[in-house]
Amino acid sequence: MRPARALVLAALLLALAPAAGRAGHAPGASFPTVRSDAAKRLLDVGEPVVFVDLRKPAEYGAGHLPGARSVPITELDRRYREIPTKGRVVLYCDCPLEEVGGVYRFLWTMGYRNHVGLEDGFGGWYRSQYPVVK
């Protein structure tokens, strides 16, 4: 790996680190978050990231992040095991960040330590004109 690419990759990995002390925080957020631009850069360099779309199935069907898995908030209590416990997981919806925080805390109580919230949500990703799968 070229040194410049290795430095960029290391910075991006730190941006997605699940420990609250190392991850970015949105104003008022009480859990680790990552901005869309950092998540997109990880995809661009081929790093494996699993996006978990917490929106309603119809919203997911209308468009979602590349490779995203649909696990609606309303079904989380019975479907959370579909979310990987290893690797990088980014939770998102098109809702207030506090709702993603609730999902984050629920998963934490279930033993998950590999997840962060998408700070600017689906709307931020879409406004940035990043790829959306329909």
User: Over the stretch 7-30, which tens digit does the pLDDT of each residue have?
Assistant: 334 344 444 444 333 344 455 558
119-132 average pLDDT score: 97
Structural domains of the chain, ranges and CATH numbers in brackets: 3-127 (3.40.250.10)
5 pLDDT higher than 60: no
pLDDT in tens, 86-113: 999 999 999 999 999 999 999 999 999 9
Can you give the pTM of this predicted structure?
A: 0.81
51, pLDDT greater than 50: yes
Backbone φ/ψ region at 63: left (φ over 0), alpha (ψ -120 to 50), beta: left
Tell me: pLDDT of 64 over 90.
Answer: yes
pLDDT at 30: 87
pLDDT of residue 25: 46
Q: Which stretches does DSSP call E strand in the chain?
A: 33-34, 49-53, 69-70, 88-92, 115-118
Give backbone dihedrals phi and psi of 89, rounded to 5 degrees, phi first.
Answer: -125, 130
Query: What separation, in Å, do the N-terminal and C-terminal C-alpha atoms of the chain show?
Result: 34
Q: What is the pLDDT of residue 6?
A: 38
Please provide the average confidence, as pLDDT, over all residues in the chain.
Answer: 85
